[in-house]
Structure formats: structure tokens, C-alpha cells
Amino acid sequence: MARDSLFVFLFLAQLTAQGFGACPNVSTDIGFIWADVDCDGDVDVDDGLKVLMWLAGLAVVQSVDCLEIREVFAS
């Protein structure tokens, strides 16, 4: 899962938008925007930080209509 956060930060730095394995490219619309873990309509540093917080076992507050982070990456 740390790779998920890495790919978000690489995307933000415009170094890559590629996914890995069966994952789509970062920001691909697959019914929701892939890697937009906070459901605000874009992939930004907040998404990468939320993934890192979740991996560290810290509380991550999501909006009511947003999937839990573990569900986003299980999709």
C-alpha cells in the first residue's frame, strides 16, 4: 500500500501517471477518479497524505459520500 501513496506523489510531481499491476493510471475515471481518496474531484497532496495516515493507523476523516480508503484500493 505504500506504493499507492508513492504513485500519487509521483503523479503530482508529473513524473508518472502510470498505475501498477491491475490498477488503472492515477486520475483515471472508473466511475470515480482513481486515487482521489478524499472524493473532492481531483488527485492532490491531500490524497497522498490520507493514504500515508491510513497506513500509519491514524484516523482519516472522510466525507459522508466517500468510500473508506481501504475500499478505494480494493476496487
Residue-level pLDDT, tens digit, the chain, 75 residues: 677 777 788 888 888 766 667 778 888 888 888 888 888 999 899 988 888 888 888 988 888 788 787 776 665
What confidence score (pLDDT) does residue 60 get? 87
Instruction: Give me the pLDDT at residue 70, please.
Output: 72
Q: How far apart are CA 63 and CA 20, in angstroms?
A: 27
Which pLDDT belongs to residue 52? 87
User: Which grid cell is 53?
Assistant: 495516515
Distance between CA 57 and CA 65 in Å, rounded? 22
Predicted local distance difference test score (pLDDT) of residue 25: 81
Give the per-residue pLDDT at 7: 78
Cell numbers placing 55: 497506513
